[in-house]
Structure 1
């Protein structure tokens, strides 16, 4: 069942449709062969799904290095010109070179931190017995790329009944341009449609719908309602990353001890 008008206030940017609410039947049947990864873990108490928001880490790391080097090179060219001619560039070229250097350095630092400081995975745990959802979430702030407090992992706990899933589609920088489809989860004020916050859930509408359906089936019926996956779970913390510098530098997933215990056990 899909909703043709936004249920939430406000809807997600690029809203396409709302997925069924937590207590309703799923809109689709999970089909393991088309899903990129099986659940990280599944038992009678909790289901853990992978939820990495960042892809192509190696490419992003290269782009970050190139931007930083270009910014430094631009400043060096300007300094060399001043030393060679004993004069400054005209005002407009000087401002253009300065702004491009600052922008390149700013974007390069932001891309580098997003690439190598984001954890290898940002899993989400659905605890069926507690009716709680635990999110391992990496926060960042593009306006403060040098901040320590605005960046970092935080673990958040939500009531299952307060979550809503939305499919959205926005245009993004993809070389020649293109649509970026995703599914996000909104946290609403209890008993209302007022959105308190949102976070990324899955890349691609079909993938997100199936993962959301898995969460619904597990929370409503238990692990026996989920399909069998042909592949074993991926060990995000111990995979071979010899040829990917960004993944080698990225921190491993490490839940806080109290949240880890709570999320894996019954009340």
Structure 2
């Protein structure tokens, strides 16, 4: 069933409705023709699904030189005015120029790192034998675009029973406005509705509900409960990325050895 009032404290931004809990019956039936990607892998122990926090890759790398070009305007104007008049520009002019310089440099670095440092895939593994979920997760911090520690991939491990799925929709800054629909997964404190972590699961509510239903069916019944996909899994690490500079520079998926072994095996 779909819940009409938020169950979690606090609900995700743009909350629309909650999806069934991990051990409840799925709210929909997965339909392979609607889903954008088949599972990366499925066997009797674990199911791996593709996941991407960014829907479009390759724009930021071209915005970066544009932002850096804009960053050159304030100092260039300052130099031209000083040479032409022999007078140092006013404090207000210098302040606005400095702010513009900082913003454009920040934006350029942020766009570049977002496009080129995020891995080619951010998979999520559901281990039925251990009842654990392993999330290959790219972390970034917009307030610290130059930081080394705030950016990078970390693998988070959660208990299956502590996950909750939420459908969300918000209007994004897309010209005249655009509706952005997602399904997010929240991690709750055991036995409560208190959220201790939350991360992106899928784009589009319909697809997200079907992917969540696939995870439920696999964890509850096993691989035989999943639908049959006619298309083979996509090889994210070795796909042809010659025409997408961002994906070409993006690092390949490489699970830590101990987590990789644990996530693919039974206890």
- Report the TM-score range of the alignment, normalised by the length of the smaller protein: over 0.9
Gapped regions of structure 2 (runs ≥ 5) = none
Instruction: Tell me, in whole angstroms, the C-alpha distance in 2 between the residues paired with 1:82 and 1:229.
Output: 67
Following TM superposition, by how much is the alpha carbon of 1:92 offset from its aligned partner in structure 2, in angstroms? 3.1
The superposition leaves residues 215-248 of structure 1 with CA deviations (integer Å, 9 ceiling, x where unpaired) of 0000000001110112110111001111111111
Q: Which residue of 2 aligns with 1:33?
A: 33
Q: Which residue of 1 aligns with 2:15?
A: 15
Q: Which residue of 2 aligns with 1:157?
A: 157
More off after superposition, 149-158 vs 58-67: 58-67
The secondary structure found in structure 2 opposite 1:180 is strand
Following TM superposition, by how much is the alpha carbon of 1:172 offset from its aligned partner in structure 2, in angstroms? 1.0
Q: Which residue of 2 aligns with 1:86?
A: 86
Q: Which residue of 1 aligns with 2:42?
A: 42
Q: Which residue of 1 aligns with 2:76?
A: 76
The superposition leaves residues 115-162 of structure 1 with CA deviations (integer Å, 9 ceiling, x where unpaired) of 100101100000001000000000111111111111110001000000
The superposition leaves residues 191-235 of structure 1 with CA deviations (integer Å, 9 ceiling, x where unpaired) of 100000100000111111010000000000000111011211011
Q: Which residue of 1 aligns with 2:115?
A: 115
- Aligned pairs, number: 267
State the TM-score, normalized to the length of structure 2: 0.97
Q: Which residue of 2 aligns with 1:244?
A: 244
Please tell me whether the aligned partners of residues 184 and 198 of structure 1 are also in contact (alpha carbons under 8 angstroms). yes
Following TM superposition, by how much is the alpha carbon of 1:43 offset from its aligned partner in structure 2, in angstroms? 0.7
Instruction: Tell me, in whole angstroms, the C-alpha distance in 2 between the residues paired with 1:250 and 1:43.
Output: 28
1:183 equivalent to 2:208? Answer: no
Following TM superposition, by how much is the alpha carbon of 1:58 offset from its aligned partner in structure 2, in angstroms? 1.1
Following TM superposition, by how much is the alpha carbon of 1:99 offset from its aligned partner in structure 2, in angstroms? 1.1
State the TM-score, normalized to the length of structure 1: 0.97
Instruction: Tell me, in whole angstroms, the C-alpha distance in 1 between the residues paired with 2:73 and 2:240.
Output: 34
Instruction: Tell me, in whole angstroms, the C-alpha distance in 2 between the residues paired with 1:159 and 1:259.
Output: 15
Gapped regions of structure 1 (runs ≥ 5) = none
The superposition leaves residues 48-100 of structure 1 with CA deviations (integer Å, 9 ceiling, x where unpaired) of 00111112221122122211221123322323332343222333333222212
The secondary structure found in structure 2 opposite 1:134 is strand
1:212 equivalent to 2:212? Answer: yes
The secondary structure found in structure 1 opposite 2:237 is helix
More off after superposition, 233-242 vs 68-77: 68-77
Please tell me whether the aligned partners of residues 55 and 203 of structure 2 are also in contact (alpha carbons under 8 angstroms). no
The secondary structure found in structure 2 opposite 1:32 is coil
